[in-house]
């Protein structure tokens, strides 16, 4: 009798495990964010880290733009995940855009096109260095005039 009960328990455990595996493989849904990042002049921004975050869920998509400024990130999420909600886009760590997206903003296959023109650029070294050196030079000249007077 004990062997029969043990056999029923083992078979039940195997059936539950197989059912759990089947359910787990069915509970996946893809979402892909893709787009192009350009600067204010329309030039591609290459090598930028793009992070898209669905607020309040911890879900995020992280990609890097290629030489044409294009990024694409695919992620599998649980079925039943509510795509609708507030999303934030970060470029190189800075928040640059926020959107409230609805389920129908995504395609049937879970794709969403989100391009952005990045207008905040880090100035080139010479743009900063020349005025700074000029101010330092002017202060040096004024300081020397004070000592002579």
Q: Is the pLDDT of residue 140 over 60?
A: yes
What digits encode the pLDDT tens for the residues 109-138?
A: 888 889 888 775 555 555 566 676 777 777
What average pLDDT does the chain have?
A: 78
Cα 65–Cα 67–Cα 68 angle in degrees, nearest 5? 85
Who contacts 67 (Cβ-Cβ below 8 Å, separation ≥6)?
A: 44, 46
Q: Which band of pLDDT confidence, cut at 50, 70 and 90, is reported for residue 3? A: low
Highest mean pLDDT: which of 9-18, 21-30, 51-60, 107-116?
A: 51-60
Identify the pLDDT of residue 126: 54
Q: Which CATH class name applies to 28-126?
A: mainly beta
Mean of the pLDDT values across residues 31-36? 92
pTM: 0.61
What digits encode the pLDDT tens for the residues 37-48?
A: 998 888 999 999
Who contacts 110 (Cβ-Cβ below 8 Å, separation ≥6)?
A: 29, 30, 31, 32, 83
Cross-strand partners of 32: 74, 111
């Amino acid at each position: 009798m004990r062997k029969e009960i043990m056999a029923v328990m083992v078979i039940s455990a195997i059936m539950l495990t197989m059912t759990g595996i089947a359910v787990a493989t069915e509970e996946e849904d893809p979402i892909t964010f893709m787009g192009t990042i350009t600067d204010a002049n329309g030039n591609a921004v290459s090598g930028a880290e793009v992070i898209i975050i669905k607020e309040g869920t911890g879900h995020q998509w992280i990609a890097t733009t290629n030489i044409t400024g294009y990024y694409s990130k695919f992620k599998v999420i649980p079925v039943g995940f509510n795509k609708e909600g507030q999303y934030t886009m970060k470029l190189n760590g800075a928040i640059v855009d926020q959107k409230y997206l609805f389920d129908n903003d995504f395609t049937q296959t879970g794709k969403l096109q989100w391009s952005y023109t990045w207008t905040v650029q880090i100035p080139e070294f010479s743009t900063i260095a020349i005025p700074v050196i000029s101010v330092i030079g002017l202060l040096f000249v004024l300081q020397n005039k004070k000592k002579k007077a």
